[in-house]
């Protein structure tokens, strides 16, 4: 019994020591939609509802197409923590769990870069994404919310 407890404690210490700290960006994040989308502004609560699948459609009934950055992307890390209240890795695990159990309603599509997100958003009226303000191409997309 003592040996088991020791093994358990040793494993705990190993895992704790292996845990890494996080870094973050200090820049505003713009939530963007297609220029033809009639929505002018969104509250952060509304953006959160889309990304948490609490709301699945725009007011005209069309399905929301959400774009996300990769889990390791610094902007995704900030977006997850500030808006969704969870770390990006945890949110990724939740989506994977939903996909594996066939219960995912409307998962976001992951794209590699902010440039690609803006390109995709500019091509679909139902799309929504997020980029750093410094990476914004205002001729392509419209800002509907800002995460500070």
Partner 1 sequence: MMKIMLRIFLIIALLSPSLLWAEEATDSRKEIEELKSRLEVVEATKEKEIEELKSRLEVVEATNEDVEDRLSRLFTLSGYADSEYIIDDRGGKSDGFKIHHLSLFFKKKISDKWKLFSELEYEYAPKFESGVAQGKIFVEVFTIDYNYNHYINIRAGRYLTPVGIWNVEHYPPFVSTQERPQHIRKIFPQISDGLQFFGTVNLGKIVTDYIAFISNGSDDLVNGISDSGSGDDNDNKAVGGRLKFKFPLLSTTELGISGYREKDNFDAEVNASGLDLSLQWKRLKFQAEYAAGSYDVATGTDYDRKGYYGQLSYGIADLDLIYRYDWYDADDTVAKGDKTINSVALNYHFTPSVVGKVEHHVNDYEDSAKEDYDKTVFSIAVYLGD
- 11 touches partner 1 (CB under 8 A): yes
Chain Cα centroid distance, residue 3? 43
How far apart CA 70 and CA 88 sit, in angstroms, is 9
> Residue 120 in 3-state DSSP?
helix
Q: Which stretch binds partner 1 (CB under 8 A): 1-9, 24-32, 125-133, 138-146?
A: 1-9
Beta bridge partners of 57: 63
Beta bridge partners of 145: 31
> Residue 31 in 3-state DSSP?
strand
Task: Name the residue nearer to partner 1 (CB basis): 7 or 146.
Answer: 7
- 35 touches partner 1 (CB under 8 A): no
- 101 touches partner 1 (CB under 8 A): yes
Q: How far is the CB of 26 from partner 1 (least distance, A)?
A: 21
Q: Which stretch binds partner 1 (CB under 8 A): 8-16, 23-31, 36-44, 127-135?
A: 8-16
């Amino acid at each position: 019994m003592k040996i088991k407890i020791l093994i358990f404690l040793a494993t705990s210490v190993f895992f704790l020591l292996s845990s890494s700290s996080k870094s973050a960006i200090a820049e505003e994040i713009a939530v963007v939609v297609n220029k033809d989308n009639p929505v002018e502004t969104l509250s952060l609560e509304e953006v959160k509802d889309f990304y948490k699948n609490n709301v699945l459609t725009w007011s005209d009934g069309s399905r929301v197409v959400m774009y996300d950055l990769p889990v390791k992307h610094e902007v995704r890390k900030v977006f997850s923590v500030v808006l969704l209240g969870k770390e990006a890795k945890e949110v990724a695990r939740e989506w994977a769990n939903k996909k594996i159990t066939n219960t995912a309603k409307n998962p976001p599509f992951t794209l590699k870069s902010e440039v690609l997100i803006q390109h995709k958003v500019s091509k679909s009226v139902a799309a929504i994404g997020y980029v750093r303000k410094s990476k914004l191409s205002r001729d392509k997309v419209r800002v509907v919310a800002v995460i500070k």
